[in-house]
Structure 1
Amino acid sequence: MFRFIAGLSLILASVQVSAALDIQTWQTTKGAKVMYVHSPGLPMLDVEVVFDAGSARDGDKWGLAAMTTAMVGTQTPELNEQQISQQTNALGARISGNVGRDMASFSLRTLTRESILQPALKLFTESLTQSVFNPQIFERERQRALVGLQQQQVSPSQLAQNAFWKGVYDQHPYGHPVSGSVESVKALKLEDLKAFYQRYFVSANATVSIVGDLSRTQAQEVVEQLLADLPKGSAAPALPKPKSLSEAKQQIIDFEASQTHFRMGQLGVERGHPDYYALFLGNHLLGGSGFGSLLMEEVREKRGLVYGVGSGLAPLKVAGPWVSYLSTKNESAKEAEKVVKDTLVAFMDSIDDQHFQAIKDNLIGGFPLRIDSNAKIIGYISMIGFYGLPLDYLEQFPKIIESLSKQDVLKAWNRHFHPEEMVTVMVGKPA
């Protein structure tokens, strides 16, 4: 995997930007989508390459995407693992990789000084496009992954998370853990990783995002250099739509602990769904705004059942979940569950005007802080590019939030969520 290599520490000051970012986009001759923002405030460059190669592409080989991502950048035809690490440190660059259900992503952060930029880009390019899958490194990474998976088996929070996704998605590609299982990772072969790399790590399946002190012409040159050795290939096929629940599901996993970890939720919406704004605003009020949320007020402040409680939406290529979460003493688990459900039902019935306006003001007033650095900007434009959102998404987001009424929010929540059909998971010894 691309290691998180700090090298010489690169401390980024916040860059004040407006929501009206000048996002430019184009497509390379090999079919890759490019997202670009010129940010001259600092002599730095951020590059992120995202492939539609997340765990949803594992098939029956769970953990394949995660293991492939872990291997990319560990060795090239010219450089071994130690040499890659030494060169990255010497340049003061930062190279990293990550994998989720939808995507595998790889990023570079470097100074734009020519003597640093060109060798950093060359190293990043070779690591990404000319990876060598060394059998010894593969076995080491497999053992590392197995240790992590074994640790998950004694983590009640992770057990609850995995059970919740399985409960919501069942046999859908989102239903299994991103990192796979002990059994599936043990069964992986090096040839599986090579085949996955050759199928999904191709130009037509890539989105490249660039933010920094480079002109568009320079950015185009960077992309051409970066993708020159990647085959064109083809985009990944569309994912199947998950099936909505028709009845409630409840699972209690017996776990020796003083606390019970709780998850409750169901299918939400995909990225780009027109109801997302209303659902996002409603969730911010219900459980997404920390101490300003209804769940925090009802479960913690009024009853003292938890230290923390919240909820979140995770929109993906196809409908992602909405989930509420908390941990509490075993003796109070059932009471906490009831309070969460009652709070959800009451919220979906009526919203207090004053609280609603306060949450809107909080979201709109804090929005500029979401894009006040290059690192945040590249995260957003990668999302916009990968999910095919409008280029003015960031500009329109606070305007749409401002335009929503509480009736809009209530209608959207009642269209998509049904309290009587929730997936509920408890891990612990709920009394």
Structure 2
Amino acid sequence: MARQEPFGDRLSDQGHHCEARGEAFVSNFGIFARRFALIVAAVLALAPLLSTPSHAAAKIQHLISPGGIEAWFVQDSTVPLIAMEYAFGGGATQDPADKAGVGNMVADTLDEGSGDLDSNTFHERLDRRAIELSFSSARDSFRGSLRMLKDNKDEAFDLLRMSLTSPHFDSADVERIRSQVISNLKRDTTNPSALAGRKFLEMAYGDHPYGRQANGTLESVPKIQIADLKDYVRRVLAKDTLKIAVVGDIDPASLGALLDKTFGGLPAKASLTPVPDIDAAKPPERAFIPLDVPQTVVTFGGPGLMRHDPNFMAAYVVNHILGGGGLSSRLYHEVREKRGLAYSVYESLLWMDHSALFVGNTGTRADRAGETVDAINKEIRKIAEDGPTQTELDEAKSYLKGSQMLALDTSSKLASALLQYQLDKLPIDYIEKRNAIVDAVTLDDVRKAAQRLWGQGLLTVIVGRAPQAAAQPAAATPPPTAKN
């Protein structure tokens, strides 16, 4: 069964990956962004867990199997568990333009029977051994997760091997999964967060693959054929883009043999459709979607900074001050505590292989939507023009260096973090350097980053009851009609 990806992106999640079946980055953008922010915080907080260079070097190994399969590996015998996270390049960007959701359907059907096992028998084998196996199609990668007891590792890796190399895609299973996906998509048509996320991506990216829904649409999913699923597997699941992270009670030699057995039979090279780099649409721009729901949802954002940008850490720190710091953030203080406009408000940096965003979300009463948007815009203009204070910077740096230590308290969470480092193309010793990079961020750095992020204004999507003149963009009001 597919799982909800964290980011996204992300984001998402990205919650974003909230996706009940599919990617929250598109269909449940608000949840994805929140989860993505937590994952990013966990990844950036990895260094405090591995506090000294010698300990970090001893913990994380760059393993190369006899067959040449590479993995980042942490041998941990604290508990008899093994967790593996892995990803192939491509993801939802490899869906055909007119068939959004193919990767998501593949993720949902890979474990529905493979090799000589039908769907029921396959899942019985998983359940009998308490093996957790899942797949998901993120924006730029097709991901998988495997978790098992040490004694069940041979069977667990073999079931994964069969899923990747000989999936059945039986018609009855595909149609059952298709019905579930369509049901979720229909539910999203009345979900204000899903509608806001979808519209936001359309505004930001238009016809680019990032502007499409990763879990598909009510128009595209019915058109997906079994041949499309098989073609996706053939093109995307290959060794040259494979990234692996493993944490658990296994020795390097045994792990290397299992990696060769599991992934060695895959094609050597993927056949990916090139995806162009793109900048998100330039703010300001606003859209209003009328929907009769009790609470109006506001999603806002704009172009962000790529992970490899030299100013990324400064942007990450200042974003924490503005909207990523929970109860301590400026947006929370202004929107929730000072004005009582919303229960929560947050903002996250989301980066992908070919673009980057900052994205925020809140919910408020319909009659206060306009006031909420104005308050957010005012606070964003303020930090873009003046930057944060030295006290805010010092507190944010202290938090980012020392917090979220419990976020990596399981093998699965640590494996996810190590996979994200690889996807972000960071060196294996980054955890030794990360706190020094945070410390090196200056007040001038964060002021420049704030201007880059928020100096142009916002892309804003408002979903709620209409008419709300304060919440609708001026362009949405038709000109008066002359009377004869």
Same fold (TM > 0.5): yes
> What is the SS of the residue equivalent to 2:250?
coil
Tell me how far 1:29 sits from its aligned partner.
8.0
> What is the SS of the residue equivalent to 2:114?
coil
**Is 1:428 equivalent to 2:455 in the alignment?**
no
**Is 1:121 equivalent to 2:157 in the alignment?**
yes
Cross-structure match for 1:11: none
Cross-structure match for 1:44: 81
In 2: Cα distance, 1:70 partner to 1:256 partner = 32
In 2: Cα distance, 1:176 partner to 1:2 partner = 19
In 1: Cα distance, 2:277 partner to 2:160 partner = 35
Cross-structure match for 2:207: 171
In 2: Cα distance, 1:213 partner to 1:393 partner = 24
> What is the SS of the residue equivalent to 1:98?
strand
Choose which of 74, 81, 87 in structure 1 pairs with 2:112: 74
What residue identity is the alignment partner of 2:318? Answer: G
Cross-structure match for 1:232: 268
Tell me how far 1:280 sits from its aligned partner.
1.1
Tell me how far 1:319 sits from its aligned partner.
1.8
2:108–2:177: 8 Å Cα contact kept in structure 1?
yes
Within a 5 Å distance, the mapping from 1:304-319 to structure 2 comes to: 304-319=340-355
Structure 1 residues 302, 226: closer, same or farther in 2, change over 3 A? same
**Is 1:355 equivalent to 2:387 in the alignment?**
no
> What is the SS of the residue equivalent to 2:193?
helix
2:66–2:257: 8 Å Cα contact kept in structure 1?
no
Deviation string, structure 1 residues 251-293 (Cα, Å, up to 9, x no partner):
1011112321111111212233222211111111111111110
Deviation string, structure 1 residues 294-350 (Cα, Å, up to 9, x no partner):
000000100000011110011111222101211101111111101101101111223
Moved more, 293-302 or 29-38: 29-38
In 2: Cα distance, 1:246 partner to 1:48 partner = 35
Task: Please tell me the root mean square deviation across aligned C-alpha atoms, in Å.
Answer: 2.2
**Is 1:87 equivalent to 2:125 in the alignment?**
yes
What residue identity is the alignment partner of 1:404? Answer: V
Structure 1 residues 366, 235: closer, same or farther in 2, change over 3 A? farther
Within a 5 Å distance, the mapping from 1:327-366 to structure 2 comes to: 327-348=363-384, 349-366=386-403
Cross-structure match for 1:404: 441
1:262–1:426: 8 Å Cα contact kept in structure 2?
yes
Cross-structure match for 2:90: 53
Tell me how far 1:58 sits from its aligned partner.
1.1
- Number of residue pairs matched? 418
Cross-structure match for 1:133: 169
Moved more, 402-411 or 183-192: 402-411
Deviation string, structure 1 residues 333-385 (Cα, Å, up to 9, x no partner):
11110110110111122312223222221221115334332122111111122
Deviation string, structure 1 residues 11-64 (Cα, Å, up to 9, x no partner):
xxxx99425363333566877542222222222111122111311111312111
Moved more, 18-27 or 164-173: 18-27
Cross-structure match for 1:18: 50
Deviation string, structure 1 residues 49-101 (Cα, Å, up to 9, x no partner):
21113111113121111111111121113111111111111112211222221
In 1: Cα distance, 2:407 partner to 2:439 partner = 17
In 2: Cα distance, 1:82 partner to 1:229 partner = 25
2:147–2:412: 8 Å Cα contact kept in structure 1?
no
In 1: Cα distance, 2:60 partner to 2:308 partner = 18
Tell me how far 1:164 sits from its aligned partner.
0.7
In 1: Cα distance, 2:68 partner to 2:421 partner = 17
Cross-structure match for 2:246: 210
Identity of aligned residues (%): 27
The one of the two structures with greater contact order (alpha-carbon pairs below 8 A, sep at least 6) is 1
Tell me how far 1:2 sits from its aligned partner.
5.5
Tell me how far 1:191 sits from its aligned partner.
0.6
What residue identity is the alignment partner of 2:337? Answer: E
In 1: Cα distance, 2:449 partner to 2:78 partner = 40
2:66–2:260: 8 Å Cα contact kept in structure 1?
no
Within a 5 Å distance, the mapping from 1:185-200 to structure 2 comes to: 185-200=221-236
What residue identity is the alignment partner of 2:401? Answer: I
Structure 1 residues 32, 315: closer, same or farther in 2, change over 3 A? farther
What residue identity is the alignment partner of 1:104? Answer: F
Structure 1 residues 350, 416: closer, same or farther in 2, change over 3 A? closer
Structure 1 unpaired stretches of 5+: 5-14
Choose which of 262, 285, 288 in structure 2 pairs with 1:252: 288
Cross-structure match for 2:34: none
Cross-structure match for 1:284: 320
In 2: Cα distance, 1:82 partner to 1:38 partner = 33
In 2: Cα distance, 1:32 partner to 1:418 partner = 45
Choose which of 140, 144, 148 in structure 2 pairs with 1:110: 148
What residue identity is the alignment partner of 1:351? Answer: P
Cross-structure match for 1:274: 310
Cross-structure match for 1:7: none
Tell me how far 1:3 sits from its aligned partner.
7.8
In 2: Cα distance, 1:235 partner to 1:188 partner = 20
Moved more, 333-342 or 356-365: 356-365
Cross-structure match for 2:450: 413
> What is the SS of the residue equivalent to 1:182?
coil
Structure 1 residues 247, 299: closer, same or farther in 2, change over 3 A? closer
In 2: Cα distance, 1:271 partner to 1:65 partner = 24
1:360–1:402: 8 Å Cα contact kept in structure 2?
yes
Moved more, 254-263 or 346-355: 346-355
What residue identity is the alignment partner of 1:51? Answer: F
> What is the SS of the residue equivalent to 1:419?
coil
In 2: Cα distance, 1:137 partner to 1:275 partner = 47
Structure 1 residues 134, 336: closer, same or farther in 2, change over 3 A? same
In 2: Cα distance, 1:3 partner to 1:323 partner = 22
Tell me how far 1:413 sits from its aligned partner.
2.4
Structure 1 length as normaliser, TM-score? Answer: 0.91
Structure 2 unpaired stretches of 5+: 5-45, 470-484
1:33–1:385: 8 Å Cα contact kept in structure 2?
no
